[in-house]
């Protein structure tokens, strides 16, 4: 039996408020616990999106009533909310700027809007961006003008990881995350997955892009799932929304890579706990750990997952390593496939005390 620190997932879509048929704070945080994740940061592209005090309250009310693990909520940038979100910054996981098209209405098309947020958002509170290809190069440049640290979400392509490497070599304040699906899948998997199910942003890339991520592992600060649940009916429908659920499959995939000596255990702990905590200035969770049976070999099957998405792009994959028990703040929260804490057990780690 192996004991790991509680994992921290910087990139999770909870779908509440607005689309709880895909996921709510309870189903999403059960999936987190089942994956050994004890702290999730929730993205703001809900309905309504989290862009001001009122929508933040709506999301945090749901989280306070339902969450089973600890959490914080991102704010989303719009062309006209820079002052409003800067005011709310201490209560947020961070600010998310969507700079390319993806799921939901949040997108900052105009680079002058990025500049306004870079000028206003506090440097010591995380700023995360969805920026692909040339957009990624552009936002690194603009962030450097303001000397503002920037965290690059779900890096997926060779040119991106090489730009980040070059930016770091120059001393620029950039950090990045990579998802399990961009490490373990490529566009070659699209036919088997089916076109609709394979939809995800950033899209699955070429095998050479995927290899470049593995070849530049030292440039990757964090692993984050981008857990983006949509139902199977939606994925198989005429307008399939992009996104994969990932919370329950990430650690088993990483541990399998450890057993194959493609990663070390320390690579995983650094990127799925240590660096997320440091970069996002998250408090440590006392008496919090995950017990893993590293010898257990099992087959990923959607029917056993707790996410409401009820499907996985890794269906049928044989993996090695199973989460047996999760202890959060001294309480046994998950054991042998069952959640043992009540809704509302989770704490907002950005709660302003007093
Ligand atoms: O595939 C994706 N799905 N990429 C995103 O950036 C958003 C996410 C979602 O919210 O479904
Ligand atoms: Zn994104
Ligand atoms: Zn996302």
User: For the domain that residue 291 is a member of, what is the CATH number?
Assistant: 3.20.20.140
Question: Is beta strand 318-328 parallel, antiparallel or unpaired with respect to 289-299?
Answer: antiparallel
Range of the domain at 237: 2-352
pLDDT score of 225: 98
200 to 195, 243, 313: CA distances (angstroms): 10, 4, 11
Average pLDDT in the 148-165 region?
A: 98
Average pLDDT in the 224-230 region?
A: 98
What percent of the chain clears pLDDT 90, i.e. is strictly above it? 98
Any atom of ligand 1 within 6 Å of the Cβ of 243: yes
pLDDT tier at 353, thresholds 50, 70, 90: low
What percent of the chain clears pLDDT 70, i.e. is strictly above it? 99
Any atom of ligand 1 within 6 Å of the Cβ of 45: yes
Number of independent structural domains in the chain: 1
The CA 345 to ligand 3 mean position distance, Å, reads 25
pLDDT tier at 104, thresholds 50, 70, 90: confident
The CA 75 to ligand 2 mean position distance, Å, reads 14
Ion ligand 2: residues, CB within 5 A, are: 130
242 to 7, 97, 163, 203: CA distances (angstroms): 25, 18, 25, 9
pLDDT of 352 > 90? The answer is no
Give 151's strand partners: 128, 175
Q: What would the two tokens of residue 53 be?
A: 């005090």
pTM of the model: 0.98
Question: Is beta strand 331-335 parallel, antiparallel or unpaired with respect to 318-328?
Answer: antiparallel
pLDDT of 354 > 50? The answer is no
Q: What would the two tokens of residue 298 be?
A: 């099992």
> What would the pLDDT profile of 262-319 be if each residue is shown by its tens digit?
999 999 999 999 999 999 999 999 999 999 999 999 999 999 999 999 999 999 999 9
The CA 10 to ligand 2 mean position distance, Å, reads 12
């Amino acid at each position: 039996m192996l004991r790991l620190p509680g994992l921290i997932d910087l990139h999770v879509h909870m779908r509440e408020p607005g689309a709880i048929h895909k996921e709510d704070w309870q189903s999403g945080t059960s999936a987190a616990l089942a994956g050994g994740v004890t702290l999730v940061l929730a993205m703001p592209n809900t309905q309504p999106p989290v862009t001001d005090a009122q929508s933040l309250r709506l999301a945090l009310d749901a989280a306070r009533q339902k969450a089973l693990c600890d959490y914080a909520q991102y704010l989303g940038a719009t062309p006209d909310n820079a002052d409003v979100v800067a005011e709310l910054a201490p209560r947020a996981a961070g600010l998310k700027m969507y700079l390319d098209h993806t799921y939901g209405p949040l997108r900052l098309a105009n680079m002058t809007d990025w500049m306004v947020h870079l000028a206003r958002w506090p440097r010591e509170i995380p700023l995360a961006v969805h920026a692909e290809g040339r957009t990624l190069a552009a936002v690194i440049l603009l962030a450097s003008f303001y000397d503002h640290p920037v965290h690059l979400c779900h890096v997926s392509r060779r040119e991106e990881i090489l730009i980040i490497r070059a930016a770091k070599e120059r001393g620029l304040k950039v950090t990045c995350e990579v998802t399990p699906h961009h490490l373990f899948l490529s566009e070659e998997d699209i036919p088997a997955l089916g076109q609709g199910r394979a939809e995800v942003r950033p899209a699955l890339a070429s095998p050479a892009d995927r290899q470049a991520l593995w070849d530049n592992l030292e440039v990757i600060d964090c692993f984050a799932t981008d857990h983006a649940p949509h139902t199977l009916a939606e994925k198989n429908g005429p307008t399939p929304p992009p996104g994969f659920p990932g919370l329950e499959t990430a650690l088993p995939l990483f541990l399998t890579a450890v057993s194959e000596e493609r990663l070390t255990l320390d690579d995983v702990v650094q990127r799925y706990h240590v660096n997320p905590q440091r970069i996002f200035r998250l408090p440590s969770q006392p008496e919090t750990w995950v017990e893993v049976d590293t010898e257990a070999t099992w087959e990923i099957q959607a029917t056993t997952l707790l996410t409401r998405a009820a499907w996985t792009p890794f269906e049928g994959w044989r993996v090695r390593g199973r989460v047996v028990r999760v202890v959060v703040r001294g309480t046994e929260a998950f054991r042998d496939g069952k959640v043992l804490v009540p809704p509302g057990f989770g704490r907002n780690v950005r709660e302003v005390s007093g």
